[in-house]
Structure 1
């Protein structure tokens, strides 16, 4: 900032500190330690946030990331502009606008405003970040539109697709309003990921005048953030471009890389035992080692070991479901003899399953890891319900009966200054979204009208228990499996109805919790709720439109899109989405998990019962022995959801993330608390930011122009960067990929 802006900011701060700031005693703070060390317990209600600068930069970045992320979503090498990148780049833009925009007052319809009400504030910055964070991930329903046109050769009008995208994204927002008194206001619903974001914004807006006396003589948060971001940016060039092998050091496999068993157990494409990943993007992929509470990481570790390193090797080498004919970890589909299963051999011209062809060609098979993961996913779903009922049921009933919340902390009291969003705003939005959902599904033949009700019922039923798990543990059990499972039994052979039902049942739930997480960030940062509501809603509508326009443009203009011949637009994620439509929609779960047409995997459905039973004995023991603390920390929903992302996630992601978690979430917190309380969450944000910026620079400056680093041992020409070539082989390797 220049001298003029510094003087302007000093005058502004002095004025509002004297007149309006709410100063509180140190004792008047959050009862939660992680919140207390990260979030300020003061607020200035007069700080500008609903400004021209906020809307201009927020909508600008919404448009940019909606286009860029959707564009690269269809490419073989995907790239995404994330939250931290937008937060970092929008900061100088905000300061620039604060310097150059006129400060005079304007009047419009009796409303007085200024284009430049003062220095660029942290609240404006948070709103800009929130508008983009709502839409960092591309709209899930866009895949359905692509699926219809490219794979099923049906052309739904653009408006029909737009209604589908709008309703699946916005309905969840309407549900978020009902979750406020359960998941936002209670102090113990901390939402760990929001603490990282809050730490990032706090550091970016820190100055020497805001450092407390205890901080004097120590590295400022802003300086620390910039230094770690720079280090992360420089370092990522090695695993991301120059020396990718250091991201998958399968050193045990190097003892005998020609051994299939050793490769399966220790290779990065196998079970990853001993693999060292010197790559933050891999280690932080799922666990979130600096963010996720240590008790949750211990549950993840136990669940991971039970499934990936005990159940899977036992099932595989015992040849359960003829596992040895397939790789030990794969998302591909196979025939019984181990060759790849060709879906084109069993589908009719309309894309639906031909039962006669299916019986003639042979049933679909999968590897034991994939099948067991489904079973554990079933268990995680019922465990979530039972766990929340047992551990949180009494509290939920009390909160349901009373609009007056207990357990309010200082942040809830500070937010009383701002008018709350009326319930009728959320209710009206839900009614409108539901009505448009019926129009989209009935008029454009996505699925029957009753399926909309059923999908919404599943999303609503699970949103609170899943939200409680995520708010406490930073882990989100997904509903994609159960939604596919339910509609697959009810409407077998209809792939479009299957993926549409999944989108309404699963993504409405995800969107509700995404918006709730953003509302919690606004709660921590003292953003007026009504302004947050409008910022989220407007940005989401714009982002949905841009996502669909971009995808439609690419599909209509790129030759051979979503095929290997259409490289680089091979639509890797969309093709996975298509495979799911075949498994759960065309073939349907009765032929996979039922007893129809020689289905092998019916036993995994016992996971539903197992998940419902497992939390009960630990809850009973915790009540009988209340002084045994660890019993209360056994969290079966997290434990069973540990492997839900595998595949496509790989086991070494977990082991390396949990190793970092031990250092940061346990050792540093216990033995270097001063450092942890000041820098832990900031470190996570800085590492994410450095990797994201480096990834963008590497891609746009080099890889987009086919400029690859010279091949050498650390960047092998064959692309097998872990030097363990048989990790993806089958034990009975007659049908390995390189032999077909």
Structure 2
């Protein structure tokens, strides 16, 4: 834990948490992956090792060296582990945003900070309980961390410099500069490049052509994009997904967008033709926007008299289908894991219980393990603060609800951790948690999303923490150092996330408003709709015996059974392409649509085909040197350009008005 670690780790944590939270409010968010910090910290660390003087600095009885020697791979891993806490925005920011923007009640900065930190750190205490089963045993492989190990070793191996051969750092700089310069076109001067919908241009006044062809408000037929930010905003980089997974994602999109949605919409299931074909908004039975704020009282609890007046909300067929696909995807993860990995998981769990040490474990024994009481204090302190948040600051979730949420997370940490460690698949608890509390506490919006956040994110954060611990295990990082790096990174990232959110509230008066073209908070709008569906109204009135959408419950059964025929075919034909069909991946990609838009998928798949199939197979030397670096450079250039565009042009209300800045399918007024 050198001075280089502290400077670079904190720097990249602040930068990533600010940039990712800043762009989170956009209709098409941009996420700067930790890969950027992983790549840039390497030359910066080496620069510090050359530039800093070899001098010892004393602070009281404590002293440290400004330059303890060459920049090494263990410092690099710690920097990346710290920054990884900022790679995704804190989930609890959604609660802060919808409470302030949609329910018009500001939670306040300090209570919001406690909410964010406790939701992010409770899982770390749970990770301490599970680490003996999921980290030390050699049977727990964690395939995703092997990719990181490979990249670290590639960066720290001496790169052979040949005449006319570009270094990785030089390539990264060029990619970033080109991405930066180009993004001024789709990001400001010619926004039509984000979604080019050919059918809209061919038949601009035809309703059917616009419904089928609009990339942002329709099904995206013959639509494509020339905007990296648009393409990767929800599906992440196509250069980092194996081609077999990309093929499953695109197959799932084709199945949903071109088969299921048209059949349901044009056959008028649930009176769907009275509503837009693509929207996450909620509507009344008379096809007007659902008046949520009129249905809740000052405590954001359902007013039964008002509910009797308006009835349950209506969803677009696409939005309702997204929930059905989510149900199916959750069930498919269970059955797929049992069928494809059941024996392997059982065998490795038995191996894990035997604690047979491999070379990694024996080498790690040279370091002091993190004491159990560190994890215990982390858990108890955050649980106590979480109870204070729920009971004192108007979150509306009773203390016993919080305990139930945390118990649910604790129950699933080890089973889901084993699945992740073996299969690289991490089933989420978001649907289950909101359904459980929706039945127990119907009519309470904020209580529902808070229970979901503590239940789902506590488990997810534990898995993220454990994954980083496994990386440290492979790279021989002292466990106490990794614990400190992740904890510091999480604390800083939560503070910066929240500060950035409040900054955006003040910078953009109409933030998250549906008429705001850029900053309309597509993620928060879906989270808000979920708070209404599962919280204000409750699952029984939406999906139960009283609900219009009760038929969606059959998707649980369909999803559970769907992997079975493909598993049987893969056993019958083990060398055929059938073995690459992965139902959870196929379903999971379209469960995020909306907020993901149909126009993203086609261009995303084309890029995946070019880089992850053609170049990977026929230009593998180039792919192994530059593929991931190109992805990081594209992200970095877009982020830098996006920040400049906002603060120089958009914040100053300097606009460009010509046909190239009109929205996708501009003549398409009524869907």
* 2:75 aligned residue: 124
Choose which of 592, 599, 611 in structure 2 pairs with 1:652: 599
CA deviation profile, 1:445-483 (whole Å, cap 9, x unmatched): 642233223323443455566567767887755433322
Within the candidate set 658, 680, 685, 2:627 is matched to 680
- CA distance 1:67–1:271, change in 2 (3 Å): closer
Displacement of 1:235:
2.4
Tell me the CA shift for residue 264 of structure 1: 0.8
Q: How far is 1:411 from its partner?
A: 7.4
Matched position secondary structure for 1:348? coil
Larger Rg: 1
Name the CA distance, whole Å, in 1 between partners of 2:534 and 2:389: 22
Aligned: 1:601 with 2:549: yes
SS in 2 for 1:211: coil
2:65 and 2:310 map into 1 onto residues whose CA distance is 71
Residue 486 of structure 2 aligns with which residue? 536
Matched, 1:59 2:7: no
Q: 2:455: which partner in 1?
A: 505
The Cα of 1:134 is off from its aligned counterpart by: 0.5
Equivalent residue in structure 2 for 1:585, among 495, 516, 535: 535
Match of 2:441 in 1: 491
Superposed counterparts of 1:182-201, under 5 Å = 182=134, 189-191=142-144, 195=147, 199=151
Q: Please give the alpha-carbon distance, in whole angstroms, between the structure 2 residues aligned to 1:695 and 1:407.
A: 51
| TM-score, length-scaled by structure 2 | 0.86
* Aligned partner of 2:290 among 325, 341, 344: 341
Match of 1:163 in 2: 114
Displacement of 1:365? 0.5
Matches within 5 A, 1:17-166: 50-63=1-14, 66=17, 83=34, 86=37, 94=45, 97-99=48-50, 101-105=52-56, 113-145=64-96, 147-148=98-99, 160-166=111-117
- Report the alpha carbon displacement of residue 370 of structure 1 after superposing the two structures with TM: 0.6
Mapping 1:378-417, distance limit 5 Å:
378-403=327-352
Deviation at 1:388, TM superposition (A): 1.9
Matching residue within 320, 330, 334 for 2:269: 320
8 A contact 1:176–1:515 mirrored in 2: yes
Q: Distance in 2 between matches of 1:473 and 1:395?
A: 10
Task: Name the TM-score, length of structure 1 as normaliser.
Answer: 0.79
* Separation (CA, whole Å) in 1 of partners of 2:631 and 2:507: 40
What is the root-mean-square deviation of aligned Cα atoms in Å?
3.9
Number of the residue aligned with 2:670: 729
Structure 1 residue runs without a partner (length 5+): 1-49, 731-740
Kept after mapping to 1: 8 A contact 2:30/2:232:
no
| TM-fit CA distance, 1:499 | 1.2
Question: How many angstroms apart in 2 are the aligned matches of 1:108 and 1:218?
Answer: 46
For 1:172-207, what per-residue CA distance to the aligned partner results, in whole angstroms no more than 9, with x for missing partners? 223445257547965853228x8479748955x67x
Corresponding residue number in structure 2 for 1:351:
300
Q: Once the 2 structures are TM-superposed, how far is the Cα of residue 371 of structure 1 from its aligned partner?
A: 0.5
Residue 640 (1) aligns with residue 581 (2): no
Query: 2:638, 2:529 → 1: CA distance?
Result: 31
Distance 1:267 1:259 in 2: 11
Q: Secondary structure at the match of 1:725?
A: coil
CA shift for structure 1 position 366: 0.9
What is the CA–CA distance in structure 2 between the aligned matches of 1:621 and 1:658, rounded to whole Å?
26
Match of 2:323 in 1: 374
Q: CA deviation at 1:670?
A: 2.3
- Partner Cα separation in structure 1 for residue 192 and residue 329 of structure 2: 35
Task: Quote the Cα distance in structure 2 between the aligned partners of 1:92 and 1:678.
Answer: 16
Q: CA deviation at 1:634?
A: 2.5
Quick check: 491-500 or 281-290, which moved more? 281-290
Contact 2:103 2:293 (C-alpha < 8 Å) held by counterparts: no
Query: How many equivalent pairs are there?
Result: 666
Q: Deviations over 1:123-162 (max 9, x none)?
A: 4344334323302443322443455566556676765444
Aligned to 1:434: 383
Q: Which runs of 5 or more residues in structure 2 are unaligned?
A: none
Cα pair 2:131 2:466 within 8 Å, conserved? yes
Q: CA deviation at 1:646?
A: 0.6
Return closer, same or farther for 1:672/1:520 CA change in 2, 3 Å cut-off: farther
Instruction: Report deviation, 1:88.
Output: 6.5
Question: For the structure 1 residues 626 and 695, does the alpha-carbon distance in structure 2 shift closer, same or farther, using more than 3 Å as the test?
Answer: same
Give, in whole Å, the separation in 2 of the partners of 1:492 and 1:387.
32
Please say if residues 267 and 724 of structure 1, whose CA atoms lie closer than 8 Å, have aligned partners that are also in contact.
Answer: no
Mapped partners of 2:588, 2:569: distance in 1:
22
Residue of structure 2 equivalent to 1:284 = 232
User: Are the counterparts in 2 of residues 95 and 119 from structure 1 also a CA contact under 8 Å?
Assistant: yes
Displacement, 1:421? 4.0
User: Paired residue for 1:365?
Assistant: 314
Tell me how far 1:229 sits from its aligned partner.
2.4
Mean CA deviation greater in 651-660 or 323-332:
651-660
Check whether the contact 1:76–1:572 (CA below 8 A) recurs between aligned residues: yes
